[in-house]
Structure 1
Amino acid sequence: ILLYTGQPWHPQLELIAGVLTSHKDGKPWVMRVRSQGEMDSLVRDAGFDKCTQRIDEWGIFTVSMAVRRDN
């Protein structure tokens, strides 16, 4: 079983990027929004099949569950 989270969008994305810095080099943290479809595709390409998903009422945070595909 694989549990994965997503954040398809966030109303304060620019604020977060301007406040947080990278732990590696101290530069601003650049966040790239990934659609739920892109996340699901990455999971599928890794050999898993998505079986369920939950999303908060504002559509900001997702939690999905996938199972490893039998080869």
Structure 2
Amino acid sequence: MVSGLYELFSSNQMVGDSLAGLAAAVEPGGYLVYTGQPWHPQLELIARALTSHRESQAWVMRRRSQSEMDQLVEAAGFRKITQRVDEWGIFTVSLAQRIQ
């Protein structure tokens, strides 16, 4: 399960490396649950509140479209099976299976 982590990484290379590590750990047929946050109505507020680890500079999370995130998951060796989205389209939960 990967939740709320990849918004911290600005680089798709870092996300891809993490997903590759998960793919190496998950046997074929195993599952990956991952979340997404394609947008957020309070993004500016969150950025200004989370400055402690950025030397008082605003932190803006790296939002990825669902398609972008799904492509990264697929490139790591998983096949997306299903997805759920909240009624506002802010949060997604997806299930993917490790392919051989």
| Same fold at TM > 0.5 | yes
Distance 1:25 1:69, change over 3 A: farther
Q: Unmatched 5+ residue regions in structure 1?
A: none
Size of the alignment, in residue pairs? 70
Structure with more relative contact order (C-alpha pairs < 8 Å, separation 6 or more): 1
Q: Which has the higher strand share?
A: 1
Q: Kindly indicate whether residue 57 of structure 2 is the aligned counterpart of residue 45 of structure 1.
A: no
**Which residue of structure 1 lines up, in the alignment, with residue 66 of structure 2?**
36
**Normalising by the residue count of structure 2, what TM-score does the alignment of the two structures yield?**
0.64
Q: Any idea what SS the aligned residue of 1:49 has?
A: strand
The answer to whether the aligner puts 1:7 opposite 2:37 as a matched pair is: yes
TM-score, normalised relative to structure 1: 0.88
Identity of aligned residues (%): 70
Computed over aligned residues only, the root mean square deviation of the Cα atoms, in angstroms, reads: 1.5
CA distance in 2, matches of 1:49, 1:22: 37
